[in-house]
Amino acid sequence: MAAKVDDKTSDIPERLYDSTNNKTYKRMRFFGKGGFAKCYEIIDVVTNDVYAGKIVSKKLMMKHNQKEKMTQEITIHRSLNHTNIVKFHGFFEDNFNIYIVLELCKKRSMMELHKRRKTITEYECRYYIYQIIQGVKYLHDNRIIHRDLKLGNLFLNDMLHVKIGDFGLATRIEYEGERKKTLCGTPNYIAPEILTKKGHSYEVDIWSIGCVMYTLLVGQPPFETKTLKDTYSKIKKCDYRVPSYLRKSAADMVISMLQSNPESRPTIGELLNFEFLSSSPVPMFLPSSCLTMAPRLELNETMDHENAHRKPLTELNGIKDDTRLESTFLKNNLHDAITASAQVCRHNEDYRSDIESLYQQLTNLINAKPRLLQGNLGDENTDPAAQPLFWISKWVDYSDKYGFGYQLCDEGIGVMFNDTTKLILLPNQINVHFIDKDGKESYMTTTDYSKALDKKMKLLSYFKRYMTEHLVKAGANNVNFESDQISRMPHLHSWFRTTCAVVMHLTNGTVQLNFSDHMKIILCPRMSAITYMDHEKNFRTYRFSTILQHGCSKDLYQKMRYAHEKLSKMLEKMFF
């Protein structure tokens, strides 16, 4: 028998009233949960300003003696004001909950970035680490230690600016030389002096920044093991390895922070003088496509002076280990370009490994026979942070003549031609990427492109016109033209039609199925999640682990089984 579903938002009112400031907020969509808190988007009914509402149940807090900790978190956070720290807008309470009004960081945390990307380029790492240091420097200058710096507490706004959040473990240094004794932190990022209870201070944040930087560049935390005991043992021995592919300036900076002796670590201010940050300009912005794809990093103008012509990134592959070229090129730019191009090539292997991973995850889920529910699971069980950043919002199949055209949710347009070459027009309607049969990318604009592509460019505009007749005007998306210069968009890797669905596989790993009943599912192997989109474009994103635990609707289960069957067909094709 199908089980009933309950949605436990009943103890949180639709309207939240702050009597002290005479403000009313309307509770909007569920944004996520953690610890004792649930997070919603909330909107000020008078000004229409949107915030994050962190709602903490008093019942849960009392049960776990968290009241004092909560008071400390509020006291510290409300005293802060810095561009790289989540802004605290206020708090109030009723009989059931405490409501904290915070800046809304729509691009989630750096944990999701890490899961979707695995590793990022040094160019991007410089951008993020510089901002993290600025935020932590402000904290240390104000005698505050965060004590829980990790990817999940580093949030990103729409512009991809880093905002440090979650001050639940933060503490204030009351007098010069005070050492704290509390055991706190997150296993993979915890400093050795906290584990050995020798007393700790600002240096624990430096250690955590070292762990964050290592994780971003290498793809996993430096001390990660299968058990907590082994991880703690490695931390105490400072037992980790720096991969040989990390460039010296990056490795030096990580090693300086991951020192057993806290006194050997640089202060937060000293970090800014490291070559990794000082030898080349820190990027001013990153496009949001970087959340899911490596940026396109061409070699900078200096190369032109060396008579080196700009080439598509993938053509740089051959020079990866040729140190003779190091003096000819600006080291930073060359290294970043190679890192990015290596990512492009690694992507080719990733196409298959993403599908294999997804197939395996669905196999495990189906074999576990999850409960079948009459309706959808409640908001409580969705995970909006795992929602896809890109999906295909429109498509047109003209493959009997030319190819398959599609529009992404950000208004970018792509065509996969019958000869398997691809053209992508970015949302700014100016930049165009061409991908040849071997996956090599080259970049051009709508007015400046190779004559050999004349016919394909005409077809691209034909597809675009066909699909955008009913589209809101471009520009509605607040496109930053400069950032588009380094955007690399996910594009269609393969597609096929069946009797009841169109199956589309994007280069960022997601697989989308548009069913003839107008429902869509988007499967993401990297977030281990499925998104169910109904006729009204309502998204419900569930982690596979949630479905294992709580079940899912009959309809979603059937669609997953169908997807599983099609993934098996895709794998068969990939092996031939």
Q: Could you state, in order of their start, the residue ranges of all structural domains in the chain?
A: 15-103, 108-286, 335-574
- DSSP character at residue 95: S
Give φ, ψ of 230 to 5 degrees.
-70, -40
Digitized pLDDT (tens) for each residue of the chain, 576 residues in all: 344 444 455 578 999 999 999 999 999 999 998 878 999 999 999 999 999 999 999 988 887 778 888 899 999 999 999 999 999 999 999 999 999 999 999 999 999 999 999 999 999 999 999 999 999 999 999 999 999 999 999 999 999 999 999 999 999 999 989 999 888 888 899 999 999 999 999 999 999 999 999 999 999 999 999 999 999 999 999 999 999 999 999 999 999 999 999 999 999 999 999 999 999 899 999 999 999 999 988 644 333 333 333 333 333 333 333 332 233 233 445 555 554 444 444 446 778 999 999 999 999 999 999 999 988 888 889 999 999 999 999 999 999 999 999 999 988 999 999 999 999 999 999 999 999 998 899 999 999 999 999 999 999 999 999 887 754 433 334 445 555 788 999 999 999 999 999 999 999 999 999 999 989 999 999 999 999 998 777 889 999 999 999 999 999 999 999 999 999 999 988 765
Q: Which CATH superfamily does the domain covering 108-286 fall into?
A: Transferase(Phosphotransferase) domain 1 (1.10.510.10)
Bridge partners, 172 (sequence order): 144
DSSP SS3 for 450: coil
* CATH superfamily, region 15-103: Phosphorylase Kinase; domain 1 (3.30.200.20)
Cβ(523)–Cβ(510) below 8 Å: yes
Measured CA angle at 153 (ends 74, 387), to 5 deg: 120
Q: How far apart are CA 349 and CA 390, in angstroms?
A: 21
Residues 428, 409: Cα–Cα separation, whole Å: 13
- State the pLDDT at residue 336: 53
Q: What are phi and psi of 389, to 5 degrees?
A: -85, -30
Q: Which tokens in the block code for residue 458?
A: 């005409």
Q: How far apart are CA 254 and CA 251, in angstroms?
A: 5
What architecture is the 335-574 domain classified under in CATH? 2-Layer Sandwich (3.30)
Question: CATH topology of 15-103 equal to that of 108-286?
Answer: no
Q: Are 99 and 51 in contact (CB under 8 A)?
A: no
CB 356 within 8 A of CB 554: no
Question: Which entry of 6, 148, 158, 410 is annotated as an active-site residue?
Answer: 148
Q: In what order do the strands lie in the sheet with 539-543?
A: 492-497, 501-506, 511-515, 520-524, 529-533, 539-543
Please indicate whether residue 148 is annotated as part of the active site.
Answer: yes
Length of the chain: 576
